[in-house]
Structure 1
């Protein structure tokens, strides 16, 4: 097995491409609890209550999708080393390594995974003053769930290339991966096409979590699913749809992993484990439709040649068809 390209410290931020950018900016700032840091005519950067410059970037697009996922690493030397290891693995670097011109600054690089998702490694980004945690607003992004046409290949890439660890499985339908002590910062869901399933935002406590749900209800917005508490991860959940139909989640109390003691488990996919509180019931067909999203070729649309250059990449005909690809390339 190859050495991972870098040691990931945390999930930093997520970029979403959205067909309803102005409406989504209003939703995430006026109702969800984030705040605008910077904004242009077709892009906005939004912060939580933590010190991160931004945790969500919304970019106007012709169809919904994932723009990129950003992870924090420690030093510029880590970014440079990651670039060298990507070259050794035959994985093209899309941008960098070098100073980042986007809002938030820093030093980083970008590359695509085997299904065309853009991954960014960043260090030295701008910080902002932390806000008080009295209000029921998110601290930041805590995890992203991704739909994949081959869960084994996706897990192999993110563990071998990015050095993530599998915390738990939900049968062979979902895999939960961590990069620090949080139970998961990325999870994969076996699906018929590649897309973003949902983005989760950390609330400081169960009380903040419930008060946030109450604020949305007062605005006439009810959960797609929740509130409840998951078995894998032990975190609370309440899922909503933003104006573009993308799914966002309030969560709190994610399980913390002791690396020396944690044992990976395979959870049964039964109602009492998907919601240990028993308050939410099963997800509705509407919820599942929102979480399925639409087929998203990601970077493969802008750079078709990547499919030939990334070992184990999903072929164009496989996106949306649910065809499995070979795992174990790394």
Structure 2
């Protein structure tokens, strides 16, 4: 299963209240590396080929989501997406143009969906040689989950504007696919349009677990996990960063193709008392659930 236009999730950009505090956390504790910096922005990378996977911009008193950046399969795909966004009811904020202020460069298109979510799609951005996996260090982003008060409308927009396909749908989430990862964007069925969480791909099971221990030692306890999800079959540990952003260490994400059979909520049900395949971890608590409703897209990205 794949989008004809979108190759992958490239990066996520956040506005944070304290850039120095963010750098300390995301480099020393979350284990990313600085790729580039300006006076007001910090770009962080993993061991994968993306120039950066997280952009942290100096913001106001509360954290906000600035944009989600996807990578197009070709330059022609950008033009196709441009037209498809308009046809699907989106608003183009910037037609395809040279990204001269972005350290990865390339050509970029920026737009809003009908509910205010901001996406950027890039092509021709610089890539770096991929490193061998490093224990406990994220490789890349694997997915971002965005809440929606109108999940059917959001799903339709992602399908029409970006060529995503529905991989699976549970009682709480629609999992959208664009490449071999089971899902790249998931839509949390909710009463709001906040950021649910950002997932960072780790090299293996041990890295997910050791990362949980490192976070706990640093004063950031596991909010949900360890466990193994149903849709996507991935391992997980969830945390809150210093600003209340929900972040996930994950590994072993299921790889799918056009032969994958999509399932609905009736298929994805657990026995009483379970919320994942293992049944070891308790359900996510109130702290995590509240955090998944607090980080919104900035109104003026």
1:279 aligns with 2:280: yes
Q: Is the 8 A contact 2:105 2:125 kept in 1?
A: yes
What corresponds to 1:135 in structure 2? 135
1:119-155 per-residue CA deviation (whole Å, 9 max, x = no partner) reads 1111111112322313211001110111111111111
Per-residue CA deviations over 1:266-311 (Å, capped at 9, x if unaligned) read 22366665321122111111111111214x354xx339xxxxxxxx
Segments of 4+ moved more than 6 angstroms: none
Count of matched residue pairs: 296
1:48 corresponds in structure 2 to: 46
TM-score (norm 1): 0.84
CA RMSD of aligned residues (A): 2.1
- Distance in 1 between the 2:211 and 2:221 partners? 11
Match of 1:91 in 2: 90
Trace 1:22-61 onto structure 2 (pairs within 5 A): 22-61=20-59
For residues 278 and 73 of structure 1, what CA distance do their matches in structure 2 show?
Answer: 38
The residue aligned with 1:13 is: 11
Q: Give yes or no for contact 2:5–2:81 (8 Å, CA) kept in 1.
A: no
Once residues 134 and 243 of structure 2 are traced to their aligned partners in structure 1, the CA distance between those partners, rounded to angstroms, is 29
- Measure the CA separation in 2 of the matches of 1:10 and 1:31: 26
Output the CA distance in 1 between the equivalents of 2:232 and 2:76.
Answer: 33
Alpha-carbon distance in structure 2 between the residues aligned to 1:192 and 1:45 = 32
Q: Which runs of 5+ in 2 are unaligned?
A: none
Structure 1 range deviating more: 110-119 or 75-84: 75-84
Does the CA contact (< 8 Å) of 1:231 and 1:273 recur in 2?
A: no
Query: Deviation per CA, 1:145-171, whole angstroms, max 9, x where unpaired?
Result: 111111111111111221111111112
CA distance in 1 between partners of 2:10 and 2:146 (Å): 16
- Give 1:250-289 correspondences, 5 Å limit: 250-266=249-265, 267-268=268-269, 274-289=275-290
1:159-198 map, 5 Å: 159-171=159-171, 173-198=172-197
Partner of 1:328: none
Residue 162 of structure 2: SS of its match in structure 1?
Answer: coil
Write the deviation string for residues 224-246 of structure 1: whole angstroms up to 9, x where unpaired: 11111111211111011111111
Contact 2:104 2:126 in 1 (8 A): yes
**Any stretches of 5+ residues in structure 1 without a counterpart?**
304-330
CA distance in 2, matches of 1:159, 1:193: 20
8 Å Cα contact 1:6/1:82 also seen in 2 = no
In 2, Cα distance between equivalents of 1:17 and 1:192: 23
